[in-house]
Amino acid sequence: MYLFPFCPNPTCQWHKKAPDYAWLRPKGFYRTKAFGKIQRYQCKRCTMTFSRQTFSLAYYVKRPIVLSDVVGRLVSGESLRAISRNLGVSLRLISNRLDRLGRQALGLHSHALACRRGFDDICIDGFVSFDESQYFPSEIPIAITAHSQFVLDFSHATRKRSGTMTAHQKQRASVLYRQCTLERGALSRSFYETVAYALELQPPTLVHPFVLITDEKPAYQQVLRQLSAFRLQTETHRCVHWRIWSKLPRTVNNPLFSSNYIDRQIRKDLAAHHRESMCFNRNVAAGMLRLSIYLAYHNYRKAFRIRCQKRGGEPRTHAEAAGIPGELAARIGRALTEGRRIFMSHCTLSRMMRRTWEKTWKTPGKVSVEYIPDFAGA
C-alpha cells in the first residue's frame, strides 16, 4: 500500500514528502487496454486520486514500447523516422516518448549534480550545427569537465549564416532573415549562462581555483568581464581563463580535449548532427530534449576511457569519474528508461535545463508556443 513516496498533486502539502503513517487509501480500480486492471489511490490530505501510472514514464500512454530500445537507437545514429519504421510505430509516438525521456534525463541529472563531490577544470566550446535549414546555424555551448568528460550543462544560440554565399543564397538569406527575428547577442548570452552555472556548481576555493578552458574567441573574454567572479577576484577565490590555440593537435594532451571529444561523439552518434544531415532538427526545443537524452546517456551509461580505466572488470561511467558515487550513477543510468517519472517540482534545474524541460527554446520562424502536457509541468 505504501508504494508512493509523495502525493503527485503539486499543490498538496505532502507533495515534497509524504508522512510516515498511512497517508493514502485505496479508491477502486480502473481498466486500461494497455496495462489491464489498475488500483487507484486517494491522498487523505488533498483527496486527489492517482495510481502507479501517475508515477510512471508511461503516464497516459496508450501504447507502451520499450524505452531503452528507443534510447539505444537514438544514440546510435538512427533518425526519428528510422526508429518509427523499425519499431512499427508512428513518428508522433516516438517524438512523445523522446520528450518524456528528455525530461527524465534532465531531472535525474539535476539530482546527480546535487550529489557530486568532485572538482575539475571546465572546458566550454560551442558545438556548431543547424536547425530548420543551413541558413540558421546553431551554436550549443557545452560545459564539460576537463579530466572526466562529464557534461554539466549546455545552452543554445541561433545565429545568422556566415561565410561565402552565392548571389542566390544571399538573396534567400535576406528574405528568411526579414521574416523572423533572431535574438541579438545570443552567442554571448548562451556562453554567459553556461559559465555562470558552472561557477555555481563549483565555486572557486583556496585550494581549487576555477579554471575555464576555451578557444581564443575574443567574445569569450568580453563575456567573462561581466562575471563578478572573474572581475573581482580575491586571493582565496581565483578564476583562470585558459585560452587554447585552435590549431593545436586534437589529441588527449590538448587541454580542450573534452570539448573536442564530446563534439566528435555528438557529430558521430546523433543523426540530427551528422555533417550535411537530412535529419536536422526541425524544432529547437525538441532537439534540445533529444540532446539531453544523449548527454545523460553519455554521463551515466557510457564507460569512461573503456580501454584504460577498468575497475573490477566493470568500466566506470563518466559520472563516477567526475565524483558522483558509483552506486548512484548506476541507479541513474537505469532510471533513465526504467525508473519512476521525475517531477519538475522535485528538481533544482538550471535556467537552461528549465528552458529545455518547458520547451521554451525558439525555433526560427515559428511563432506558436510549444505544447507541453499538464503533467510534465507538475
Q: Which residues bind Zn ion (CB under 5 A)?
A: 7, 9, 12, 14, 43, 45-46
Q: Is the dihedral of CA 58, 64, 70, 72 positive or negative?
A: positive
CB of 13 to Zn ion, least distance (A): 7
Residues 6+ apart with CB under 8 A from 71: 101, 293, 297, 336, 337
CB of 43 to Zn ion, least distance (A): 3
Distance CA 105, CA 332 (A): 9
CB of 41 to Zn ion, least distance (A): 10
How would you classify residue 24: left for phi > 0, otherwise alpha for psi between -120 and 50, otherwise beta? beta
Query: What are the residue ranges of helices labelled H in 32-135?
Result: 67-74, 80-87, 91-114
* Residue (43 or 256) nearer to Zn ion, CB: 43
Q: Are 284 and 154 in contact (CB under 8 A)?
A: no
CB of 120 to Zn ion, least distance (A): 41
* Residue (12 or 328) nearer to Zn ion, CB: 12
* Residue (55 or 230) nearer to Zn ion, CB: 55
How would you classify residue 312: left for phi > 0, otherwise alpha for psi between -120 and 50, otherwise beta? left
* Residue (4 or 197) nearer to Zn ion, CB: 4
CB of 25 to Zn ion, least distance (A): 12
Distance CA 55, CA 341 (A): 5
**Pick from 48, 69, 46, 51: which is nearest to 61 by CA?**
51
Q: How many residues does the chain have?
A: 378
CB of 107 to Zn ion, least distance (A): 20
The vertex-55 CA angle with 50 and 60, nearest 5°, equals 75
CB of 14 to Zn ion, least distance (A): 5
* Residue (8 or 141) nearer to Zn ion, CB: 8
DSSP 288-335: HHHHHHHHHHHHHTSBSSTTT-EETTEEPBHHHHTT--HHHHHHHHHH
* Residue (9 or 202) nearer to Zn ion, CB: 9
* Residue (17 or 81) nearer to Zn ion, CB: 17
